[in-house]
Amino acid sequence: MKIKSIQAGLPKVYVELMGDGSQEKKRRTAIFKEPVAGRVRATALGLDGDGQADRRFHGGEDKAINAYCFVHYARWAREFGEAALPPGAFGENFTLDDTNEESVCIGDVFDAGSARIQISQPRQPCGTLAWRWKRVDLPHLINAHGSSGWYFRVLKEGEFEAGAELKLIERLFPRWTVTAANDVMVHHKGGASAARELAELPPLSESWKEALLRRVKET
């Protein structure tokens, strides 16, 4: 698994016309990421030069680095009617080659340059991503395709650059691929028992643990 490209960006305010053009709507977002040249440093809260507009649902130690698989790009280019998509088209920090959601697991630990990172949860597509591509059905399509991407937490701060290999150091829970975690959270497969088992994984993000345990309690 390699880092094909690295993207970062800080929140900006975007203005769009509404209706007949007489109204304007403002949106503050960091969904538009730009490629980073050279080495970049990762800290517990993410990449230098990167940020999130709404920290209630994005960013933080459990969601420091957003990763997406390049293998999905061709499908989305066809879906959007584009010849090709730019790096970071899904707001991701890492665009990854030679991997997908079925080949990595919750809790996987990787060395990337001098940093060490760990998969904490699948990404849950949000309305900002739908807004970015003007496709209200995009979150549904991503969930249906199983092409969510995922988040890394940073276990050891360090530096890396595009082209670096992510070296698997430890696989703690081989049953719990990113796909399997999505099956439970998004598609409710396995019922309460699967939700409880997933929630009990120590490396899983706190927000997913809380959501899954609420579901179990309500069952």
What is residue 17's predicted lDDT score, i.e. its pLDDT? 75
User: Is residue 142 over pLDDT 90?
Assistant: yes
Q: 118: which 2 tokens? A: 């760990």
Query: Distances in Å between the alpha carbon of 53 and those of 15, 47, 99?
Result: 15, 15, 28
Q: What is the pLDDT of residues 77-115, one digit of tens each?
A: 999 999 999 999 999 999 999 999 999 999 999 999 999
Q: What pTM was computed for the model?
A: 0.95
Residue ranges of domains in the chain: 2-173
Q: Is 17 exposed, middle or buried (0-12, 13-18, 19+ CB in 10 A)?
A: exposed
pLDDT tens string 145-158: 999 999 999 999 99
Mean pLDDT, the chain, as a whole number? 95
pLDDT in tens, 187-207: 999 999 999 999 999 999 999
Q: Summarize the confidence of residues 46-75 as an average pLDDT.
A: 93
CATH topology assigned to domain 2-173: M1 Pyruvate Kinase; Domain 3 (2.40.33)
Give the residue-averaged pLDDT of 20-47: 90
Helix axes 206-218, 178-185, angle to 10 degrees: 40
Top-confidence residue, 25 or 200: 200
What local confidence, expressed as pLDDT, does residue 22 receive? 66
Residue-wise pLDDT tens digits, 158-192: 999 999 999 999 999 999 999 999 999 999 999 99
**Which pair of structure tokens corresponds to residue 134?**
């003007």
Looking at this protein, which amino acid is placed at residue 197?
Answer: E
Is pLDDT of 20 > 70? Answer: no
Do residues 172 and 108 lie in contact, with contact meaning Cβ atoms separated by under 8 Å?
A: yes
- The predicted pLDDT at position 26 comes to 87
CB-based contact 136:130 (threshold 8 Å): yes
Distance CA 200, CA 186 (A): 17
pLDDT, residue 43, reads: 98
Q: Is the pLDDT of residue 75 over 70?
A: yes
pLDDT computed for residue 55 by the predictor: 76
SS3 121: strand
Nearest to 68 by CA among 129, 22, 20: 129
Mean pLDDT of 18-37: 84
Res. 19: pLDDT tops 70 = no
CA–CA dist 87, 4 (Å, integer): 9
Which residues on adjacent β-strands are paired with residue 43? Answer: 46
Which stretches within 60-190 are classed as H helix? Answer: 73-80, 127-133, 138-145, 178-185
